[in-house]
């Protein structure tokens, strides 16, 4: 499919180094971004779908890097069907499984955890609820795993491991397994904060510094934060990415962002939701955290958007999260909400508002154009200007 988006007011690139662009059009072809900037009349006329942004803002689709999936678009924790599709209507085009820890009767033996990771990864290879890409199959680290297991899993396509829910006497015991995962090019993700489910234990700064993982998951607390003095240590004594989640502690979210900004290391800041959990379903969770960082923490909205898109993509080695040729064609159109006090989405974030979603395109396919079912309407009239496809995208 070939899709042209024209009359864009501004582009949020997802790149924390160059977060804003004044280009006014973009061309998507065969699931990739083909061109950013001026489009020829032929580019537009030969497109299957032309979307008129009417001056609204275009940005990469949000990447929620902490979602508790199980199998299918269903969460047993909240007994809810269709939550991932609903997140698409909050602008989320990709989600990363924080391991399938909430699968009922989750196995804890070596054969079982390997089978669970492979099954989850395979189930979401081609299944895209609402058009969302789901990166599933994160290995839950348990005692008994050996080098041969990591070699087997890496060859099977498993590329992430999760520490925090295994049957270990001390969190320090995860360190050798994380080192093994690193040797096989696998990303290591570690639960941070107090115990989140029965049987798990708290993991604090000293544990993380001993493990040296790639990502401190919900560094702001999941849902309970680590002791105060640990945040300075994580920022100053490590290079790990620090993920902040909507379902965590808001005060420490702002603290982490401030500490990273002071050291000019905001490329380490990742935004996610850590849902669905006991905190519930949060289709607009990513947008709320962006608005909290901007309105309460004073962060530039374009930088906050990069923390929810390009920073996640770079950390998790995804080909999305940026508005640049060759990247996956996962983009959204946002605007200030109709009836609100602000006239553009960046001002809305700074004001503490969420933004309106005017269109979501994933894998180069429009999922809806005009109005999200989860946000107010846009001020500007985002619409289909022409279409050769018998579909209204409404």
Tell me the DSSP string of 268-305. Answer: GEEEE--BSBTTB--TTHHHHHHHHHHHTT---HHHHH
- Class of residue 173 by CB neighbours under 10 A (exposed 0-12, middle 13-18, buried 19+): middle
User: Please, what sign has the CA dihedral across residues 291, 296, 300, 306?
Assistant: negative
Question: Chain-centre distance of CA 181, in angstroms?
Answer: 22
CATH number, residue 178: 3.20.20.140
User: Does one domain contain both 56 and 66?
Assistant: no
Look-up of token digits 């939550």: 83
Q: Is residue 163 part of a domain?
A: yes
pLDDT, one tens digit per residue, over 74-83 is 999 999 999 9
The dihedrals phi and psi of 109, each to the nearest 5 degrees, come to -85, 165
Q: How confident is the model at residue 223 (pLDDT cuts 50, 70, 90)?
A: confident
283, 314, 342 — which closes off a domain?
Answer: 283
Q: Is residue 315 part of a domain?
A: no
pLDDT, one tens digit per residue, over 257-280 is 999 999 999 999 999 999 999 899
- Check: CB of residue 289 under 8 Å from CB of residue 271: yes
User: Does one domain contain both 248 and 377?
Assistant: no
Beta-carbon-side half-sphere exposure of residue 100 (alpha carbons within 13 Å)? 30
Structural domain including 342 reads 2-60+322-387
User: Does one domain contain both 88 and 192?
Assistant: yes
Q: Is residue 297 part of a domain?
A: no
User: Please, what sign has the CA dihedral across residues 224, 299, 382, 49?
Assistant: negative
pLDDT, one tens digit per residue, over 295-339 is 999 999 999 999 999 999 999 999 999 999 999 999 999 999 999
User: Does one domain contain both 207 and 268?
Assistant: yes
User: Does one domain contain both 108 and 38?
Assistant: no
String of b and e for 45-82 (b: at least 16 CB within 10 Å)? eebbbbbbbbbbbbbbbbbbbbbbbbeebbbebbeeee
For the chain, give the mean pLDDT. Answer: 96
Q: Which two tokens stand for residue 315?
A: 């950390």
pLDDT, one tens digit per residue, over 83-136 is 999 999 999 999 999 999 999 999 999 999 999 999 999 999 999 999 999 999
State how far the alpha carbon of 168 is from the alpha carbons of 140, 165, 191, in Å: 12, 8, 14
Strands 356-362 and 365-369: antiparallel
User: Does one domain contain both 157 and 251?
Assistant: yes
SS3 106: coil
User: Does one domain contain both 73 and 113?
Assistant: yes
Q: Is residue 289 part of a domain?
A: no
Q: Is residue 158 part of a domain?
A: yes
Of 302, 390, 295, nearest to 351 (Cα)? 295
User: Does one domain contain both 47 and 116?
Assistant: no
Q: Is residue 304 part of a domain?
A: no
Q: Is residue 164 part of a domain?
A: yes
Q: How many domains does the chain have?
A: 2
Distance CA 307, CA 322 (A): 11
3-class SS string, 183-213: HCCCEEEEECECCCCCCCCCECHHHHHHHCC
Distance CA 2, CA 299 (A): 35
User: Does one domain contain both 213 and 225?
Assistant: yes
User: Does one domain contain both 261 and 346?
Assistant: no
Q: Is residue 362 part of a domain?
A: yes
Residue 171 in this model has a pLDDT that exceeds 70: yes
Q: What is the rounded (10 degree) CA torsion for 317, 321, 324, 328?
A: 70
User: Does one domain contain both 131 and 256?
Assistant: yes
pLDDT, one tens digit per residue, over 332-370 is 999 999 999 999 999 999 999 999 999 999 999 999 999
235, 267, 283 — which closes off a domain?
Answer: 283
H/E element, 309: none
CATH number, residue 357: 2.30.40.10
Distance CA 370, CA 26 (A): 18
3-class SS string, 151-163: HHHHHCCCCEEEE
Distance CA 24, CA 4 (A): 11
> Could you check whether the bond before residue 276 is cis, i.e. omega within 30 degrees of 0?
yes
User: Does one domain contain both 83 and 6?
Assistant: no
What pLDDT score does 243 carry? 98
Number of Cβ within a 10 Å radius of residue 116: 22
Q: How confident is the model at residue 188 (pLDDT cuts 50, 70, 90)?
A: very high
Residue 198 in this model has a pLDDT that exceeds 60: no
283, 309, 343 — which closes off a domain?
Answer: 283
Of 269, 166, 380, nearest to 175 (Cα)? 166
Distance CA 87, CA 128 (A): 12
- Class of residue 238 by CB neighbours under 10 A (exposed 0-12, middle 13-18, buried 19+): middle
């Amino acid at each position: 499919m070939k899709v042209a988006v024209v009359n864009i007011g501004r582009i949020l690139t997802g790149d924390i180094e160059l977060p804003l662009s004044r280009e006014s059009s973009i061309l998507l072809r065969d699931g990739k971004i083909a061109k950013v900037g001026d489009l020829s009349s032929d580019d537009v006329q030969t497109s299957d779908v032309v979307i008129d942004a009417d001056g609204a803002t275009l940005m990469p689709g949000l990447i929620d890097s902490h979602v508790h999936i199980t199998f299918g678009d269903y969460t047993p924790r909240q007994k809810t069907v269709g939550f991932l599709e609903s997140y698409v209507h909050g602008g989320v085009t990709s989600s990363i499984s924080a391991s399938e820890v909430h699968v009922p009767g989750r196995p804890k033996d070596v054969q079982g955890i390997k089978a669970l990771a492979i099954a989850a990864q395979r189930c979401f290879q081609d299944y895209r609820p609402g058009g969302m890409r789901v990166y599933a199959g994160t290995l839950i680290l348990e005692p008994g795993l050996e080098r041969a297991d990591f070699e087997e899993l890496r060859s099977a396509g498993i590329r992430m491991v999760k520490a925090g829910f295994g049957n270990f006497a001390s969190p320090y015991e995860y360190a050798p397994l994380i080192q093994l995962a690193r040797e096989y090019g696998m990303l290591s993700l570690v639960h941070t904060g107090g115990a989140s489910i029965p049987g798990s234990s708290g993991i604090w700064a000293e544990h993380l510094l001993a493990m040296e993982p790639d990502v401190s998951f919900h560094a702001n607390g999941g849902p309970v934060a680590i002791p105060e003095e640990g945040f300075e240590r994580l920022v100053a004594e490590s290079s790990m990415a620090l993920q902040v989640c909507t379902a965590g502690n808001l005060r420490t979210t702002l603290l982490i962002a401030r500490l990273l900004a002071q050291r000019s290391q905001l490329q380490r800041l990742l935004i996610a939701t850590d849902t669905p959990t006991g905190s519930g379903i949060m289709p607009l969770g990513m947008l709320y955290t962006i608005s909290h960082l901007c309105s309460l923490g004073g962060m530039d909205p374009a930088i906050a958007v990069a923390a929810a898109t390009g920073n996640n993509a770079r950390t998790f080695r995804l080909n999305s999260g940026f508005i640049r040729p060759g990247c996956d064609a996962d983009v959204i159109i946002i605007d200030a909400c109709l009836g609100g006090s602000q006239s553009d989405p960046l001002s809305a974030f700074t004001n503490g508002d969420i933004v309106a979603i005017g269109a979501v395109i994933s894998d180069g396919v429009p999922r809806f154009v005009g109005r999200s079912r989860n946000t107010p309407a846009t001020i500007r009239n985002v619409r289909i200007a022409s279409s050769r496809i018998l579909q209204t995208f409404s």
